[in-house]
Amino acid sequence: MKVINQTVSIEEFDDKSYRLRIYGELEEKAVLTHYLHNYRNGIKKHYEKDAISTLNKFVEYKQIDQELSIVAEDALQQLLFEVENVPFPTPENYTFKFIDLFAGIGGFRLALQNVGGKCVFTSEWNNEAQKTYRANFGEVPFGDITKDRNKNYIPEQFDILCAGFPCQAFSIAGYQKGFADTRGTLFFDIEQIVEKHKPKVVFLENVKNLVSHDKGNTFKTIIETLEIKHKYKVFYKVLNSATHANVPQNRERIFIVAFDPKKVKNYHKFEFPKPIKLEKTIHDILEKEKQDDIFYYNKDHQYYPILAKTMISKDTVYQWRRVYARENKSNLCPTLTANMGSGGHNVPLIKDDFGIRKLTPLECFAFQGYPIDKYIIPKLANSKLYMQAGNSVTTTLIERIAKQIIKVL
């Protein structure tokens, strides 16, 4: 047999010949990384049975199909090192536990870890977002949370449920179809988890338009579901990243924080964070050096004459609106959107010393509050990275709200 030499990796669980040997619908990488991520605390027991089964199958595959000499303990130690050697590991002395639903690239997780939280379950269905999430937190999220098999992996006890649940159904840009109750929406899956686990706190984020969607009926249904059906005490407020997070992006979002009054006696003391002075400007985020040519508009581009005529200032971020460029008069970055990388609409543009260009994905992540000196942005198509940034929360704003929640807890 060949001798293995530090070749075991989580990525190998995608090997086609390996996957053909595995039966059932177990999400191997998710359950194994959740187990390894909790290997040094009691939560590992929740994932242990399926994780050990997965690990043994993997070792058997390596021994037989690839003729590699390896034992489960060696594989375990190598994989453990891989999931722990990441930019944002779990705090050693955590004070509360949370779950991260519709996790995206980890905006909620980054914020709550920063205030002493430990994530015990993660769910995100998008494969590219899963890759970014794992690169930074060492964990592969479980997939579709509408599936009972994934809900069943949620540990029985945790303190805070976090969810920036998808907003397409509520966005001004969407079809704005109303609903009579929560069935048929992803909020219904959140409600099921709330009903089963009764967390101390439910912490939700969505687009501002959720409040007015369907003449207010959608938002009313969500609030009444939490307040009347599940007896939570609910607080909500629209906050802007520019006024509440010291981030120069004009991004208004609705935040909902709900407390179980039986478990959180001081719930009435909760307050959303106050506005703070915006000290950062777009120039604290924009790269000063010349960027890759792919981000610049060539002079022979059909819209270059329009852009050149409109975009005369280097002190603002413009936004391409299908056939014209609009200046953001407040000198802020306009709201980043999920479709800004697909071209044609809502594309943020700047004029720098080298020409007219789009924001880079790195700049978009920075405009969402990510610490780009540490945060890993994997090699994915730029369109995917733009989508990840546009779908994300402003993590520094989430952190300020989380601090207020922790004061009450």
The catalytic residues are 167
Q: Which CA distances in Å does 325 have to 310, 322, 358, 359?
A: 7, 8, 12, 14
Tokens of residue 354, six digits: 């080298």
Backbone dihedral angles phi then psi of residue 215, each to the nearest 5 degrees:
55, 30
Q: How far apart are CA 247 and CA 81, in angstroms?
A: 34
Q: How far apart are CA 154 and CA 152, in angstroms?
A: 5
Q: Which CA distances in Å does 55 have to 44, 113, 154?
A: 14, 28, 20
Q: Is 122 exposed, middle or buried (0-12, 13-18, 19+ CB in 10 A)?
A: buried
First to last CA, the chain: 56
Beta bridge partners of 254: 206, 238
Q: How far apart are CA 351 and CA 296, in angstroms?
A: 9
CA dihedral 149, 155, 156, 161 (to 10 degrees): -100
Is residue 260 within 8 A of residue 198, CB to CB? The reply is: yes
Beta bridge partners of 252: 240
